[in-house]
Amino acid sequence: MSFLEYAPAPESQSILHLKSDYGLFIDGEFVEGQGTPFQTISPATEKHIANIAHASEADVDRAVAAARRAYDTTWSRMSGSDRGKYLFRIARLVQERARELAVAETLDNGKPIKESRDVDVPLVAAWFFYYAGWADKLDHAGLGANPASLGVAAQVIPWNFPLLMLAWKIAPALAAGNTVVIKPAETTSLSAMIFAEILQQADLPAGVVNIVTGAGETGSALVNHGDVNKVAFTGSTAVGRMIARSTAGTDKRLTLELGGKAANIVFDDAPIDQAIEGIVNGIFFNQGHVCCAGSRLLVQENIHDEVIERLKARLSTLRLGDPLDKNTDIGAINSREQLERIRELSDIGEQEGAERWTADCAIPENGFWFAPTIFTNVSTSNRIARDEVFGPVLSVLTFRTPAEAIAKANNTPYGLSAGIWTDKGSRILAVADKLRAGVIWANTFNRFDPASPFGGYKESGYGREGGRHGLAAYLKPAASASAIAAAPAKPVTAAKAQNASEGAAASARAASSVTAAKAKKASK
Amino acid sequence: MTRLAVPKTYKLYIGGKFPRSESGRTYEVLSNSGEFLANAAMASRKDARDAVVAARSAVSGWSGATGYNRGQVLYRIAELLEGRRAQFVAEIRDVEGVSAAAASAQVDEAIDRWVWYAGWADKYVQVAGNANAVSGPYFNISVPEPTGVVAIVAPQDSSLLGLVSAVAPALVAGNTVVVIASEKLPLAAISLSEVLATSDVPGGVVNILTGSPAEIAPWLASHADVNAIDLVGAGSLDWISMQVAAADTLKRVFTPENGPDAAAPALGRITGFTETKTVWHTKGLI
């Protein structure tokens, strides 16, 4: 028995009390969806977990109406301190039910329990705790006194960090005084359903948070709904582009957190042990299903061979298998579709001449798996150096000078994150200045904190989540509240004048539907 | 005997030089009462693309300059503009048909706007950025940085003030600019380029095109090497199509504004075309 062979240590599923069917969460209650329910499976076993409701356009409409009602009658009128108290309650309930949430997340997503238990769920609680405290301090958010909420926020989140992305979206929106309709990813709705139960336990007023489950068309109905004021999306750059197009000409505020192809730059004076751990964490954390993953390793030429050798040795000690096992390092790929994309891009990597190395590990019979893989001899034009693989695949390139490292790092339409490994502080500062990326980790990687703004440059999207900056995405300055409504040209102003007697909320709605109609016209 | 006047040839301003349109096209600029004032260059798609190339090549120098330095350069624009007040007042009167007092007021306000924005260049980082108290042994700081090349459709109902109100804030952070001047009121814009050319603004940092915004702006909206587009003066154009085109490369977009308060001075005009960079620095254990 080698030192790698451990007795199985699976986390018990007995903590879960799952229902066989989950409805939509609208206006504080679980209701049936009009679409045909779909099943959610465990990507590690391909076994059925539960049936999930499928929200139709009419369901989305109902959810937005509930959010609008809650915004007009309750949430926008509530004191910031009371909004904050609800968020504190939610943070505490997440902590109390943390293990249950972690097990559900791992079962449904395929990520190792040690990650859902030690990273995802604690950060979810931290996110609500952080933004709870902001709710009655919005005057200090950097937008001047009495900043105004936006209204109803439509939020669409991905499958890689299902509950954490939900927290990133909901916590700042509610703290700022908005109400929410959120759509989880099709393959990972389960933890959001448990979160809905938490909202009931917290006694959150009905309609403040509504959760509509479904696939792409549900998300499309949500972001294109005429009565939402804010759209926040995390996901692929392709879908982000579609949303930017379809919201053009409307007065919907938009933030997008999209793809990445981060460079992780290792200089020859880097603390090598830490750098190896950082490279591994950078690309193999969460099976590489991370938009800010360090998927391009840029290593200084003179230490290339040593780094690769040590990396291979380290990867050979990673345990791939049952995500619920506490000793598992690499869990399951989230879906068959994603697995096929990773395989396709990896095959192209080989065809284009890069040298493939895959860790020697046993692959379970059922489920979706991809062993940690490194490509060396990669050139900058290779697809595996340009396209986001979103899997446990690392492309290795080399450089000689800091200037070359910077040029290669920036040679991508993306700009989400980057890593720098060197013992020289002045070099870190100089290189960090030149990298065109929104988050830069120096001698660390994949760190997240609710106080730390996160988001991209260029085609990695716009807007920030986290910190004071993340709050600003859900607020507008008091003084320009009317100016913003009047800003996008004549139709809005006209609609506003017509509806002046119906109050501000009604006129803002009319304005948004007018511009939405205009947008439809334009997109023909 | 009256002296025969020497009229000025109005050209484009690209990369610190004053070329004619490569297309060879010009159009007539008329006074408010319909008299011929000048022929302005009618910029083409190629001119717009050349301007983007010039703007891109100027990004690293301008964004790499210190805020203090950028502030002084922007302040110098105000100084030189002040010295040429009479010329701008005359041009605005000719083309807009307004009173001397109104033209003077517009020039004054344009000068003051350069001064106001100049003062932000070494301060906006402090106001828009901050240190973040994260739960771990990290020094974590967020700072705003320029987004890159910004295309601007200047307000169409103002000769000078509208243009300055849109261009100045984009420059503060270190962006470079390609701006399409007011189609009907382009003379002050070209004269402003003469001020820019002699006030330490590096070539390519501001590029000014005259001509038809309806023709040129869509090319800038879809240009892959433009990072952001300010459609402040595009209200009467099909700006939604431009916003749709801008989505292809996920450009940052400002939508049209109308009226005398269009592009009113605001910190948001600076920060709107910046990117927040957050750097995590590991703290050693001692």
Nearest by CB: B282 against A240, A436, A442: A442
Structure tokens at B197: 């050319």
Report pLDDT digits (tens) over A494-508.
333 333 333 333 333
Nearest by CB: B278 against A439, A483, A489: A439
Residue A251 belongs to a domain? no
Using the beta-carbon criterion (under 8 Å), do A258 and B255 form an inter-chain contact? no
Nearest by CB: A440 against B253, B266, B277: B277
Instruction: Judge if A405 and A276 occupy the same domain.
Output: yes
More confident residue, A488 or A466: A466
Residue A11 belongs to a domain? no
Mutate to test the interface with A, among B66, B132, B236 (most CBs of A within 10 A): B132
Give yes or no for residue A485 having a pLDDT over 50: no
pLDDT of the residue at B72: 98
Using the beta-carbon criterion (under 8 Å), do A490 and B275 form an inter-chain contact? no
Q: Which chain B residues have a beta carbon less than 8 Å from that of A438?
A: 275-278
ipTM of the complex: 0.94
Q: Closest-CA residue in chain B for A122?
A: B135
Identify the CATH number of the domain in which residue A63 sits. 3.40.605.10
- Does B225 contact A at CB distance below 8 Å? no
The residue with tokens 């009173």 is B99
Of A440, A455, A470, which residue is a domain's last?
A455
Instruction: Judge if A422 and A350 occupy the same domain.
Output: yes
pLDDT of the residue at A190: 98
Q: Which long-range contacts (CB under 8 A, 24 or more apart) does A273-279 make?
A: A274/A421, A274/A443, A275/A307, A275/A421, A275/A443, A276/A307, A276/A310, A276/A311, A276/A314, A277/A314, A278/A419, A278/A421, A278/A441, A278/A443, A278/A444, A278/A445, A279/A307, A279/A311, A279/A394, A279/A445
Query: Looking at CA atoms only, how far is residue A437 from chain B in angstroms?
Result: 7
CB atoms within 10 A of CB B7: 9
Residue A271 belongs to a domain? yes
Using the beta-carbon criterion (under 8 Å), do B132 and A453 form an inter-chain contact? yes
Q: Which residue, among B145, B162, B148, B160, has the nearest Cα to B231 in the 3D structure?
A: B162
- Does B243 contact A at CB distance below 8 Å? yes
Instruction: Judge if A58 and A205 occupy the same domain.
Output: yes
Contact A511, A495 (CB under 8 A): yes
Contact A437, A109 (CB under 8 A): no
Residue A24 belongs to a domain? no
Distances (CA, A) of A447 to A123, A286, B29, B118, B211: 11, 13, 58, 37, 50
Nearest by CB: A467 against B128, B132, B253: B132
Instruction: Judge if A381 and A507 occupy the same domain.
Output: no
Q: Report, as an integer, the average pLDDT of A374-386.
A: 96
Give yes or no for residue B210 having a pLDDT over 90: yes
- Is residue A361 flagged as an active site residue? no
Mean pLDDT lowest for which of A4-8, A28-32, A373-377, A444-448? A4-8
Give yes or no for residue A308 having a pLDDT over 80: yes
Tally of domains within chain A: 3
- Does B123 contact A at CB distance below 8 Å? no
Domain ranges of chain B: 26-282
Report pLDDT digits (tens) over A83-110.
999 999 999 999 999 999 999 999 999 9
Q: Which one is the CATH code of B26-282: 3.30.1360.120, 3.40.190.10, 3.40.605.10, 1.25.40.10?
A: 3.40.605.10
Give yes or no for residue A30 having a pLDDT over 90: yes
Mutate to test the interface with A, among B243, B261, B271 (most CBs of A within 10 A): B243
pLDDT of the residue at A3: 65
Using the beta-carbon criterion (under 8 Å), do B247 and A440 form an inter-chain contact? no
Residue A28 belongs to a domain? no
Residue A498 sits at φ, ψ, to 5 deg, of -55, -40
What is the DSSP secondary-structure string of B85-98? HHHHHHHHHHHH--
Domain ranges, residue A430: 263-455
Instruction: Judge if A434 and A497 occupy the same domain.
Output: no
Instruction: Judge if A398 and A499 occupy the same domain.
Output: no
Identify the CATH number of the domain in which residue A417 sits. 3.40.309.10
pLDDT of the residue at A2: 64
Q: Closest-CA residue in chain B for A274?
A: B282
Q: Closest-CA residue in chain B for A438?
A: B277
Nearest by CB: A449 against B127, B134, B279: B134
Find the catalytic residue in A115, A186, A291, A388: A291
- Does B272 contact A at CB distance below 8 Å? no
Q: Where are the beta strands (DSSP E) in A47-92?
A: 48-52
- Is residue A277 flagged as an active site residue? no
Using the beta-carbon criterion (under 8 Å), do B135 and A455 form an inter-chain contact? no
Residue A193 belongs to a domain? yes
